[in-house]
Structure 1
Amino acid sequence: MNYTILCSDLDGTLLTTKSDVSKITISEIKRIKDKTQIILVSARMPKAMRYIQEDLGILQEPIICYNGALILEDDKEISSTIITTNQLEIIYKLAQKQQIKLGLYYKDEWYVEEDSERVQKEKKHTKVDPVFKNIETVLKEWKKKDVGAHKVMLMGTKESADYAFSQLQQTLSKELNIYRSNDTLIELAPKSVSKLSAIKELLKNNDTLENVISFGDNYNDIDMLQYTGCGVAVGNAREEVKRIANATTLKNTQDGVAHYIKQHL
């Protein structure tokens, strides 16, 4: 099959380290980018993706941010879907009760109330600095502007995250996608969008999903891998992801995406 579009997740997939693509990945992407459109698809904010686009020589291509909640092309907004301030207020009250810290993301804005080990990790891995601001103040400002969040990160302990996850499933699961990133982190995104829906939005000319090859490692990659022409899981992917993939390549730390491109594209 002649794949005209390659879509790849970043963290745990295309990125060999926590923040960068390897030289071999850059080389393989540059080898095929004139005949294959390369679209980066991530839960990250735009600013945390552009430096990777630059390294790969694909700044002219669109990016799918926040798991599909924001799509940009040439820095122009193709699509934007937000978590409303009403929903955010419910989340904030729950977080306060459980002493969970929130990270709010809108376009290239990232708000947190205080510094922490988790915030420092995010800064290091994404090369983006947050704005330290009272979350209640942010929500009031957003309400006046009629904007919301493209993504929410809840940062707690295992116990508080367990409780919050259960409560969120009961109250907001019909409206939001609720991902458990790890024992202490929960990510929230609008339910009406996904990586797959964003890819569909970017299809042009005679291209269909059959023309797309995709790479991923985590739960939020499943639809993308399952319904594109060829879905490839990296070796470190969750078992559920590997089960639905058409193929499995090496781990991200072993340049799995570059290895598969070199062998098949």
Structure 2
Amino acid sequence: MNFKVLCSDLDGTLLSTKNDVSEFTVSEINRIKENLRIILVSARMPKSMAYLQKRMAIQENPIICYNGALILENDKELSSTMVSSENTELLNTLCQSYQIKLGLYCKDEWCVSETSERVKKEVFNTKANPIFESTEQTIERWGKRNRGPHKIMLMGTKVSMDQITQKLADGFSNYINYYRSNDTLIEIAPKSVSKLSAIKSLLKPNESLDEVIAFGDNYNDIEMLKHVGFGVAVENARKEVKDIAKKVTLSNTEHGVAQFIKDHL
């Protein structure tokens, strides 16, 4: 297999644990990085990706953060797309009626109204600490700087997530992309961005989408895996992801991406 670009999701895909890549993965990335550009593509914030870039010694490459809403190269913003403060306020009002909490993300700021088991897990998984303030305060503070969130995380119960999903489809589908991370979480990004659109924007004149190989596990990876030259799902991926992938490798905890690289690249 001959490719020029390798793109990989992080959580549940490249990461063998909740917050790190394995030595096997580091070794395989180091082996191929002179011949392929390695681009990390994630829903994470920049600083929660930078330490992984450093660990694999691929800091010279761009990173795609927040499912494509923010693209950085050496800390320089190549692209930045935010949910408007007006739409964020409307979403917050809707969520309040379902007792759903919001996590708001803008570049390297992560803001939540209170701590919870979910917040503690994210601190551990991403090695980032939140700012504690009310959602209304965050929206107002960012609004004064003409900024909005690159990503919004809805945190609730399975029942509340089931209930609000149709409301999002009815009232917000023209403004946002959303997908269910799990039973109690929904991730929201600006409508105009995706992992695939971000990858396309980073291709050099001598690179084509057919020369991109990508790895993923979740709903937000489907479009990417479907349209690049070769899309690979890890064994622990959702069924819908495995169904559209050209190949399925071992699970993330079995270092599936690294094993595929070793066997085929």
TM-score, normalised with respect to structure 1: 0.98
Match of 2:172 in 1: 172
SS at match of 2:182: coil
Indicate the percent of aligned positions where both proteins have the same amino acid. 61
Match of 2:256 in 1: 256
| Deviations 1:222-260 (CA, angstroms, capped at 9, x unpaired) | 111111111111111111111111111101110000000
Gaps of 5+ in 1: none
Match of 2:101 in 1: 101
Task: Please list every run of at least 4 consecutive aligned residues from structure 1 whose deviation after the TM superposition is greater than 6 angstroms.
Answer: none
Gaps of 5+ in 2: none
Distance across 2 between alignment mates of 1:96 and 1:248: 40
Are residue 34 (structure 1) and residue 20 (structure 2) matched? no
| Deviations 1:184-205 (CA, angstroms, capped at 9, x unpaired) | 1111111111000000000013
Paired letter, 1:189: A
Distance across 2 between alignment mates of 1:179 and 1:223: 12
| Deviations 1:84-133 (CA, angstroms, capped at 9, x unpaired) | 00110111101212111110000000000101000000000000000001
Match of 2:159 in 1: 159
Paired letter, 1:242: K
Distance across 2 between alignment mates of 1:152 and 1:58: 28
Match of 1:212 in 2: 212
Distance across 2 between alignment mates of 1:90 and 1:63: 30
Distance across 2 between alignment mates of 1:153 and 1:86: 17
Paired letter, 2:140: K
Distance across 2 between alignment mates of 1:202 and 1:193: 13
Distance across 1 between alignment mates of 2:134 and 2:223: 36
C-alpha RMSD of matched pairs (Å): 0.8
Paired letter, 2:72: L
Are residue 45 (structure 1) and residue 40 (structure 2) matched? no
Alpha-carbon deviation of 1:146? Answer: 1.2
Are residue 146 (structure 1) and residue 125 (structure 2) matched? no
Distance across 1 between alignment mates of 2:161 and 2:102: 12
SS at match of 1:181: strand
Distance across 2 between alignment mates of 1:245 and 1:53: 25
Match of 2:89 in 1: 89
Distance across 1 between alignment mates of 2:263 and 2:112: 43
| Deviations 1:173-216 (CA, angstroms, capped at 9, x unpaired) | 12111111111111111111100000000001310001110000
Distance across 1 between alignment mates of 2:120 and 2:236: 24
Distance across 1 between alignment mates of 2:224 and 2:157: 30
Distance across 1 between alignment mates of 2:14 and 2:175: 30
Distance across 1 between alignment mates of 2:215 and 2:157: 31
